[in-house]
Amino acid sequence: MHNAPTDYKSQQVAVQNVTILGATGTIGVQTLAVISQHPQRFKVFALTASTNVKSLFELCEKYTPQYAVMLHADAAAELTAQLKAIGASTIVLQGESALSEVAAHEEVDVVMAAIVGAAGLHPAMAAARAGKRILLANKETLVMAGNLFMQAVVEGGATLLPIDSEHNAIFQVMPSAKRENLTDIGVKRVLLTASGGPFRNASLAELHAVTRAQALNHPNWVMGPKITIDSATMMNKGLEVIEAHWLFNAAPSQIDVVIHPQSIIHSMVEYIDGSVLAQLGNPDMRTPIAYGLGYPDRLVSGVSGLDLLKIGRLDFCAPDPIRFPCLRLAYEALNAGGTAPAILNAANEIAVEAFLAEQIGFMDIPVIIESVLSASQIEAVTSIEQLVAVDTSARQSAKRWLKDQHLNMHKQTLKVVIK
């Protein structure tokens, strides 16, 4: 009889306090699912959410964190009343500053940074400066402030572990030596795999007619709406290219994207001797989450084993720049450097919001982004405050585009009516 699987060195590790930023989102919920399997290793210290009181209340009731944070005051007041009614001891905090407080708290060992969007930047920086183990699932931190964040990680003595399945895969097969120069550690390039989303074989005419429901129907992964749309446009992969640049000190020319529809190979590293190392697994975010939580140990994640015989084949092709202009725009922003990636990210967030609200078409997303980028002045990055201002300005520029587009459509409608 086989013994039940146990964690490697599990009995030698002290209980670690975990803060989960974005606890009610997909990554947050999956992190709690992994933690639930290892009560001897992890204690939930703080959970945060934006406005989802119902979900955060249920999580607080189950995991009894010391702190809960709601971004908005009304939500915090509602959660406080609900927790008080059941006699819970969880302390409710409110606002952006509270996110940074629970990320940098002296009792916290691990921070899962899973807030989607630019809102996750400040608490991730606070965790880095406080020297925490950071499980980074927030793309925007590196996209907006890559150099500042990586500097904060070094100066704060933090440990940074990427949770995106692609970067986690690269981390697992990359040499552990200091990555000052990829060539010096024998690496030729990194290859980010991409599923291609639901539209990898769609014609341009079909892409122009894509609906919200179609774009939210990802063939392989279960993710939140914003990331799912980014996957459909391949902006998600473009942002990952920028992230890989900072995480692995890779030049843009050393980062390639490969369409791999099965999402079994999560990414690869090619070495100068011709070897290519890949990390494989079923498409389930609990695998990289468990890797980050347990590192350098391996933890049971709850993910089923990979059956290569059942899969049968692994396919690859190059991404089509015509179908996926967002990927091209991300490379252009990375090559431009400075504030360009922050502008790209901000414009994309507004464009995706507009598409989800059914205000624009699917192929309008890259049009808005390119318009905002071309109209913006690119500057060297000097501070978080500067990046916040750039982010705000780019969002306003994208909203003006939407407003102008709406006015133009209204004028065209009036012309038709008059005729």
Q: DSSP string of 261-324?
A: TT--EEEEEEETTS-EEEEE--S-THHHHHHHHHTTS----SPPPP-HHHH-----B---TTT-
Cβ proximity of 72 and 93 under 8 Å: no
User: Could you give the 3-state DSSP secondary structure of residue 42?
Assistant: strand
Where in the chain are the domains?
Answer: 10-162, 164-283+304-321, 337-419
Task: List C-alpha distances in Å: 292 to 104, 168, 264.
Answer: 18, 8, 19
Residue 407 has what pLDDT?
A: 57
The residues that bridge with 16 in the sheet, in sequence order, are 42
The residues that bridge with 49 in the sheet, in sequence order, are 70
How much of the chain is helix, strand and coil, in % rounded to 5?
A: 50, 15, 35
Angle in degrees, CA 24, 284, 53, rounded to 5 = 5
Query: pTM for this one?
Result: 0.89
Angstrom distance (rounded) from CA 352 to CA 98: 27
Judged on CB neighbours under 10 Å (0-12, 13-18, 19+), 84 is exposed
Non-local CB neighbours of 397 within 8 Å, separated by 6+ positions: 347, 371, 372, 375, 376
Run of H or E including 159 = strand 159-162
User: Could you give the 3-state DSSP secondary structure of residue 193?
Assistant: strand
| Residuewise pLDDT in 10s, the chain (419 residues) | 334 444 544 456 799 999 999 999 999 999 999 999 999 999 999 999 999 999 999 999 999 999 999 999 999 999 999 999 999 999 999 999 999 999 999 999 999 999 987 789 999 999 999 999 999 998 889 999 999 999 999 999 999 999 999 999 999 999 876 666 898 899 999 999 999 888 888 999 999 999 999 999 877 666 778 888 999 999 999 999 999 999 999 999 999 999 999 999 999 999 999 999 999 999 999 999 999 999 999 999 999 999 999 999 999 999 999 999 999 999 999 999 999 999 999 999 999 999 999 999 999 999 999 999 999 999 999 999 999 999 999 999 999 999 988 656 544 543 444 45
Q: What class is the 337-419 domain?
A: mainly alpha
Residue 178 has what pLDDT?
A: 65
Paired tokens of 77: 């007041």
162 torsion bin: left (phi>0), alpha (psi -120 to 50), beta (else): beta
Residue 418 has what pLDDT?
A: 47
409 torsion bin: left (phi>0), alpha (psi -120 to 50), beta (else): alpha
Paired tokens of 220: 């392989």
Angstrom distance (rounded) from CA 65 to CA 29: 14
Q: Does domain 10-162 have CATH number 3.40.50.10140?
A: no
Helices 340-356 and 139-156, packing angle to 10 deg: 140
Residue 238 has what pLDDT?
A: 97
CA 156 to chain centre: 22
Phi then psi dihedrals of residue 261, to 5 deg: -60, -30
Residue 12 has what pLDDT?
A: 63
Residue 406 has what pLDDT?
A: 67
Paired tokens of 81: 């009343």
Paired tokens of 263: 């999402």
Paired tokens of 83: 């927790």
Query: Before 296, cis peptide (omega within 30)?
Result: yes
Angstrom distance (rounded) from CA 65 to CA 23: 12
